[in-house]
Structure 1
Amino acid sequence: MLDDDYFSAFKLKLNNDEFLLLFSVHLPSRTRMDKSQINAHASVVADGIKKATANHNTTKSIIIGDFNMNPFDDGMTLVTGFNAVMCPNIAKKIRRTYLKKDYDFYYNPMWDIMGKSSSNVKGTYYYTNTMESLYWNTFDQVLFSGSLLSDIIINEIKVIDHLGDTSLTTALSNKPNFKVYSDHLPISISYKEEIL
């Protein structure tokens, strides 16, 4: 439907003659840009997504991909960025007005996944070459517009560290096995309705 340098958009038909917009994103790598530059890119991409949803007159959208930001980074939380919140009840308000402009809320369930004690992995990307003591980052995320929250199976959103019997992490450290697979771990979501 639409391709940009940092995102692609797809119009997906639901089984009740409605549709949703699915945006796949891949923002610049943090190895080539600093946080402030990626935050600036986030604002541009978020604005492009805002225009696409307005052109299709819908509030139903999902944004998924490699944001190269954590859920708490400015590009994710700023109203002029993705306006993504950790609380579904806030996202259900659909939008907020800031400086006389409307901005759609997005719910970011990845806050709940970060550092979860019941999981072997604590994020989607492991990195140690910064002054920050994060180590585990959650760069791969999914955001839902507030109008979709009743259609998403929230407790089935997860970081994938196994495909069947195959581990995507190293045996000793549970870090992503980048030499064999990828330096990022994938995520999965479940949607209650059939998507055609």
Structure 2
Amino acid sequence: MRILFWNTHRNVDINSYILDIVNQNEIDVLVLAEYMAEINELNDNLKQCKKRLFNWNTKGCERIHIWGNYIDVTPGEQNKYFSVQIVNKQYIMCGVHMYSNLNGEHYDERVALAEEIMYSIKHIKQRLQTEHVIVIGDINESPYEKACLSAKGFHALPALQILDKGSRTVYGKEYEKMYNPMWNLFGDFKYPPGTYYRVESKLYNPCWFMLDQVIISQSMIPLMVKEQLKIITKCGKGVLYTDNRYPNSNISDHFPIMCEFNI
């Protein structure tokens, strides 16, 4: 399963870029946030792609659209900020687009939303008797911030092995661990250092942010194809960045991300 996520920045002319990236990378599941282009056109063209992607049911979710080439797909909870999908009755996939800090800080609200997402997923896991979870989307904060790392949020650790203890106890309450492989793409040893760039007149401003992430359950770790975890910066139509090598907001202010699992 090769998954692509992209926050398309409400660009109404982005369909050709989406289709190019989907075809070039032979994507199985496409998850979009802030999609405002011509959806019927995209639907028709995705059906003609190499993998033939069809629109999944995300009714009730305002911020996420999902397409895929899997037939056995059942929608789980659909919230304004997230869409849960059950693939082949055992893989729980959740596309998310969480609160932004553009109009004020929302760290606590994102923790509460992450807790709500994990609560929803927990009930599906119990019902299906599965442990396989993929959360992908625009978290709107970096992996080292509260919603990602807090045990009450995604509890998504930068390092987790399949043989490690799968949970952690805090003040007598047990919290399941998740794994965030996006930590491995941080920094300037390899371009790009993040998925989003923003300069503000603040004392705290990393400039580069890893807002777009994939977070997985411990059971998915051996299934992940590590070399296919990528931030995509170019396609057949050209590069997705400016001359300064920042995301080109005329296309999107976010770079897309891709991941793959052997399922």
1:94-118 Cα shifts (integer Å, max 9, x gaps) = 2233334332211101111011412
Cα gap change, 1:64 to 1:110, in 2 (>3 Å)? same
Give the match for residue 44 of structure 1. Answer: 116
Give the match for residue 153 of structure 1. Answer: 225
Q: Which amino acid aligns with 2:86?
A: K
Give the Cα–Cα distance (whole angstroms) in 1 for the partners of residues 144 and 182 of structure 2. Answer: 10
Pairs aligned (count): 186
Q: Of the candidates 84, 87, 95, which is equivalent to residue 12 of structure 1?
A: 87
Q: Of the candidates 179, 184, 193, which is equivalent to residue 254 of structure 2?
A: 184
Bigger CA radius of gyration:
2
Ranges of 4+ aligned residues in structure 1 off by more than 6 Å: none
Give the match for residue 122 of structure 1. Answer: 193
Give the Cα–Cα distance (whole angstroms) in 2 for the partners of residues 114 and 62 of structure 1. Answer: 20
Give the match for residue 59 of structure 1. Answer: 131
Cα gap change, 1:55 to 1:96, in 2 (>3 Å)? farther
Tell me the TM-score normalized by structure 1: 0.86
Give the Cα–Cα distance (whole angstroms) in 2 for the partners of residues 135 and 90 of structure 1. Answer: 33
Cα gap change, 1:60 to 1:92, in 2 (>3 Å)? farther
Give the match for residue 78 of structure 1. Answer: 150
Give the Cα–Cα distance (whole angstroms) in 2 for the partners of residues 57 and 96 of structure 1. Answer: 21
**Which has the larger displacement, 84-93 or 59-68?**
84-93
CA drift at 1:161: 0.5
Verify: 1:21 aligned to 2:92, yes or no: yes
1:21-42 Cα shifts (integer Å, max 9, x gaps) = 0011110122134033333333
Give the Cα–Cα distance (whole angstroms) in 2 for the partners of residues 33 and 154 of structure 1. Answer: 35
Give the Cα–Cα distance (whole angstroms) in 1 for the partners of residues 109 and 157 of structure 2. Answer: 21
Q: Structure 2 regions of 5+ residues with no counterpart?
A: 1-74
Cα gap change, 1:7 to 1:64, in 2 (>3 Å)? same
Give the Cα–Cα distance (whole angstroms) in 1 for the partners of residues 142 and 196 of structure 2. Answer: 10
Q: Which amino acid aligns with 2:235?
A: L
User: Aligned residues: percent identity?
Assistant: 29
